[in-house]
Amino acid sequence: MRILVTGGAGFIGSHIVDALHAHGHDPVVFDAFLPSAHSGAARAPDDAPDDVRDPAAVERALRGVDAVCHQAAMVGLAPDVADAPDYVSNNDLGTAVLLAAMARSGVRSLVLAGSMVVYGEGRFTCADHGDVRPRPRRAADLDAGRFDPPCPHCGAPLAPGLVGEDAPADPRNVYAATKLAQEHLAAAWARAVGGRAVSLRYHNVYGPGMPRDTPYAGVASFFRSALEAGRAPTVFEDGRQRRDFVHVRDVARANAVALAAVGDREAGALAVFNTGSGTPHTVGEMAAALAEAYGGPAPVTTGEYRLGDVRHITASSARIGAELGWRAGVGFAEGVAEFAHAPLRGGVSPRPPAG
C-alpha cells in the first residue's frame, strides 16, 4: 500500500515510516517540521515543511494514496494555557482539513495517533464505592503533598487499575481535549463517507530519536536530556505516579499492523485501541532505571507538580492483542538500556526541563 504518514519526520512518525518499509509498504512523508520537535534535527536538502492545515498541500500528498497514518500534532502538556490556540489549530483544525481532503480524494482508510490522555485520571476503585471517577486534583492538596486523588464520595484512598477502551473520556488539559476532538472528527468522517478508522491510544512512548530539551516531549525525554547535560533527573510529585512506558518501535509496529487490517474493519466506524506495554511502572522507576543505565547522577524527587498532570494512567491493551494480534515486544529493562545511550533529536526549551 501507498500510505501517507503525516508527521512522518517526527519522533514516532519516523519509526512508523521505517516499520512500513519493513512491511513492504510505500510510505509518503508529510511533515511541518515544527521547531518544538525538529529544531536542530538533520534534514535532507529537499525536505520542505508541509502543513496539514493547508488543503492544497494535503490534496497533492493524497494523490495515489491508499491509506493515511495521521501522526501530525502538537504533543505534550502545554507549559501555558496561552498555547491552547496552537494546539487546537495544529491538532483539530489540521485533522479536519485532512479528513475533508480525504473525503474529496476518495481515500477511505485512516489510522490515527490517539492518546491515553483522553481518559483523564484513568481507573480507580474505592473499597466501599467500587469504580469511581476522581475529581480533578486541587492545588491545595498538591501543595500539601497529597498527590493521590481520594474517593469523591467518602474521601477514602483509592486503588489505581487498568482502564479499558470503553471507559468514559475525561480529558483534563488542553492537549487531552484536542486528542479527544481528533477522535470525534475521525468518527464523524467515517460515518459520513463510509470510511474505516482506527485510533491507537498511545501510552508513554519513549525510545531513540525523542526530542531533547523541550516541554512538549514526554517525561522520559526530560530525564534523558538532563543526564546528557550532566544533571540529575528531577522527578515531580513523589515519583510514585504510575505510567505505561511503551517503546517507540512497538508503537510503530502497532501502526503497521493497524494499517494492514484497517480495510477489514467495519465501514462507517472508528475503532479505538489502547497501545501500551501492559506493564505499569512509576515515573520514579523510569528515572532511576535510566540514570543507572546511563551512568549518571541519581534522580532528585522535588515534590513539584504541574496542575494539568494526572496521577495514574495505565490501561489494558488486551483488545488490540485479541483483535489485531499486536503485543509489545520490547521489555522495560531492555528498552531503557538502549534509550540511555540512543541519540536524541534537537528541540527547544523556553525553560529548564523537569520531570
| Catalytic residue IDs | 175
**How far, rounded to the nearest angstrom, does the alpha carbon of residue 30 sit from its chain's CA centroid?**
18
CA distance 174 to 194: 30
**Cβ neighbours for 250, distance < 8 A, ≥ 6 positions apart:** 277, 328, 329, 330
Torsion 68-32-30-330 (CA) sign: negative
Torsion 152-154-158-161 (CA) sign: negative
The helix (run of H) or strand (run of E) holding residue 26 is strand 26-30
Centre a 10 Å sphere on the Cβ of residue 144 and count the other Cβ atoms it contains: 9
**Cβ neighbours for 42, distance < 8 A, ≥ 6 positions apart:** none
The helix (run of H) or strand (run of E) holding residue 94 is helix 94-105
Centre a 10 Å sphere on the Cβ of residue 143 and count the other Cβ atoms it contains: 10
- Any idea what the Cα angle at residue 47 is, between residues 41 and 50, rounded to 5°? 100
Sheet containing 269-275, strands listed edge to edge, beginning at the edge strand earlier in sequence: 26-30, 2-6, 67-70, 109-115, 196-202, 269-275
CA distance 349 to 263: 41
317, 276 Cβ separation under 8 angstroms: yes
| DSSP reduced 3-state for 30 | strand
CA distance 203 to 290: 18
- Any idea what the Cα angle at residue 294 is, between residues 290 and 276, rounded to 5°? 30
Written as nine digits, the cell of 153 is 464520595
The type of residue at 226 is A
CA distance 351 to 216: 11
